[in-house]
Structure 1
Amino acid sequence: MDLLNLFWLFLMISSIAPLFRQKIIETSRLQLMRKLEEKRGSRVIALIHRQESMSFLGFPIARYIDIQDSEQILRAIKMTDDNVPIDLILHTPGGLVLAAEQIANALAKHPAKVTVFVPHYAMSGGTLLALAADEIVMDENAVLGPVDPQLGNYPAASILKVLETKDRNQIDDETLILADISQKAIQQVKATVKRIACCHYPAEVAERLAEELATGRWTHDYPITVEEARELGLKVSTDMPAEIYQLMNLYPQAAQRRPSVEYIPMPYPTRPGVPGRAPQGNQHG
């Protein structure tokens, strides 16, 4: 075999190998999801947004909740019997209000128990989905986020602040129009949060959640920890199944030339020992 044939063979293998690798990962995901379904007796749905690499130019693009996500999740819920619980695994920065609201409404209406798992973060629209669950299971270090509406690059609540700090005659027409839209947007999101939360929480808790999460008390990227979520009245557990973490490992980020985080991928039940010394972890004295 000459060098030219070897070159073409190498090129063919290089082009086919990623397809096989992706197929293996997808199969592993389905097997792990099926294992979790059998363990919990539920329908498992994963809504996981990672950065993905475009096949042509190779640069990362951000993923978020969109209409395609809502269509697929609504179809999965429709295919689930009323007596079958739903486990939704969330890892998302948020997304379109319309798409998130559609999913949240469908989850809230499901008769059987709905559990939302948040292994890392579920911001904005992701938090709206978590409010529709009977139970939220978060990693001890996972976070949720406010659901206050954003108009372009600005929070709706901040646009309304302009009306409080400046005379109306000194404000341009475009800002006044944005302020009117902002007021409507906040009222709409508050009503949505309250309606969804009322499915699983007392009315006073739902009212407080709507006020705290939708009115711009925090910046839109503010991380709401497990402790703060509980203080708000959310039903939060930290009993995260090991399969959730395993599943997250099967959604790799876009490939980089050099990994930015490295560690030995194994648990350390005790302190690692120095060569020639006994381990320090279980000593007493």
Structure 2
Amino acid sequence: MPNWAQLLSEINSQGSVHDVVRRRYVKELSNLTGRNVIVYYSGWLEKQDLIRQGLTGFEVNDSDKNGFMAVIHGMDRSKGLDLILHTPGGDIAATESLVDYLRAMFKNDIRVIVPQLAMSAGTMIALSSDEIILGKHSSLGPIDPQINGAPAHAIKEEFDRATRDISINPASIPVWQPIIAKYSPTLIGECEKAIDWSNKMVKQWLETGMFRDHSDKESKADRVISELGDHALTQTHARHISFEKAAGLDLKVTRLESLGQDMQNAVLSVHHACGLTVSSTPAFKIIENQNDVGFISSANMMLTPAPFQAMPQQPGPDPQQP
């Protein structure tokens, strides 16, 4: 019979009700597919108030590597990996490092399942896999890199336009001067390097991943980069890329709905359980596997309360009235 301390330790190890329910559905998905499952789930949509207050860590960053190391340890890697990916994107260097690590662990036996959104660097991670599974509700995004929160392509386009306009009409210098002044002298060079880096990286992943058996893999990879990496074509970094658009680029994408109702239910159950966790608890990022091993980032800051506003006092009864 366990003592008090042992029972308390067992209860604490089970986590919250959200943890128990979420882990059950992650395990059910793994049992259904016979593959390893890792959830990488950011709560950036649910925690907008905290983002406005300055909380960071929602994005792909170098600290995520510790989480992946923890959840991959002890796995039977011969079963491959299904990565449930829901992220706004993040740092290019951290993305490159993470993809290199996942490939070293699972080779090319990686499927990325996008339950809702894998934007920016999240799309880059998806493109590094052997197959992407998208539902009717799922979206990828452009892969143009960001510099200080602004698309590198957009910065370079604006600078190039200013150069052209000024060379044609020097009188336009006063118009462009305050616009160009916001850019540091080295920023344009940084943008050009970031664009070249991300393009080469994704091209190499495509050629050694989902296009590796294609005779025209180089031209196919170039087309994907042109369509998803050119800001002039995607128009905005927030643009959503549907299954149809991804399939039109010859990417190896599979409809979630085509895998059967059981698979659809299993994936969406994990998605909803994660969404409820990040919306109802301090957790804002979940990295977790089917073996109940998790690396969960939680916010230790409070939302700023709204200023108190007194309700107008209603007039009471006239004391002289009966």
TM-score after normalising by structure 1: 0.72
Q: Out of 240-249 and 222-231, give the one that drifted further.
A: 240-249
Q: Which residue of structure 2 lines up, in the alignment, with residue 36 of structure 1?
A: 29
1:183 aligns with 2:208: no
> In structure 2, the residue corresponding to 1:189 is in which secondary structure?
helix
Structure 2 distance, partners of 1:145, 1:28, is 30
Determine the C-alpha separation between the residues in 1 that align with 2:207 and 2:137: 27
1:101 and 2:96 are equivalent in the alignment: yes
Equivalent residue number for residue 205 of structure 2: 196
1:46 is aligned to 39
How far the C-alpha of 1:254 sits from its partner, in A, is: 2.8
User: How far apart are residue 20 of structure 1 and its match?
Assistant: 11
Q: Per the alignment, do residues 107 and 211 of structure 1 end up closer, same or farther by CA in structure 2, a change over 3 Å counting? A: farther
The structure showing larger relative contact order (alpha-carbon pairs under 8 Å, at least 6 residues apart) is 2
Deviation at 1:116, TM superposition (A): 0.8
Structure 2 unaligned blocks of 5 or more = 1-11, 168-172, 174-179, 212-216, 258-262, 282-322
In the alignment, is the contact (CA less than 8 A) between 2:108 and 2:130 conserved in 1? no
Aligned-residue identity in percent = 27
Q: For the Cα contact (< 8 Å) 1:135–1:237, is it kept in 2?
A: yes
Q: Deviations over 1:71-116 (max 9, x none)?
A: 2224434644442210100111112222222222233442362111
Distance across 2 between alignment mates of 1:53 and 1:227: 30
Question: What is the aligned counterpart of 1:65 among 49, 60, 69?
Answer: 60
Q: 1:116 maps to which residue?
A: 112
Is the contact made by 1:91 and 1:122 (CA closer than 8 Å) also made in structure 2?
yes
> Aligned runs of 1:1-285 on 2, under 5 Å?
23-51=16-44, 63-77=58-72, 79-109=74-104, 110-111=106-107, 113-167=109-163, 172=181, 174-200=183-209, 201=211, 202-216=217-231, 217-218=233-234, 219-239=236-256, 241=263, 242-251=265-274, 252=276, 253-255=278-280
**Shift in alpha-carbon separation, 1:84–1:224, aligned structure 2, 3 A:** same
Asked if structure 1 preserves the Cα contact closer than 8 Å seen for 2:60 and 2:87, the reply is: yes
Aligned partner letter, 1:234: L
The structure-2 alpha-carbon separation of the partners of 1:155 and 1:121, relative to structure 1 and needing over 3 Å to count, comes to same
Q: Distance in 1 between matches of 2:118 and 2:189?
A: 29
* Contact 1:160/1:179 (8 A) holds in 2: yes
Give the Cα–Cα distance (whole angstroms) in 1 for the partners of residues 59 and 129 of structure 2.
20
Inter-partner Cα distance in structure 2 for 1:174 and 1:98: 23
1:222-272: CA deviation from partner (whole Å, max 9, x where unpaired): 10010001111211111252111111221215359xxxxxxxxxxxxxxxx
C-alpha distance in 2, partners of 1:73/1:21? 20
Give the structure-2-normalised TM-score.
0.65
RMSD after superposition: 3.0
Aligned amino acid, residue 91 of structure 1? H
Q: CA deviation at 1:172?
A: 4.9
Q: Letter of the aligned partner of 2:42 in structure 1?
A: H
- Secondary structure of 2:273's partner? coil
Query: CA–CA distance in 2 between the matches of 1:214 and 1:228?
Result: 14
Q: 2:266 corresponds to which letter in structure 1?
A: E
Distance in 2 between residues matched to 1:254 and 1:244, nearest whole Å: 18
What's the offset of the Cα at 1:162? 3.1
How many pairs are equivalent?
235
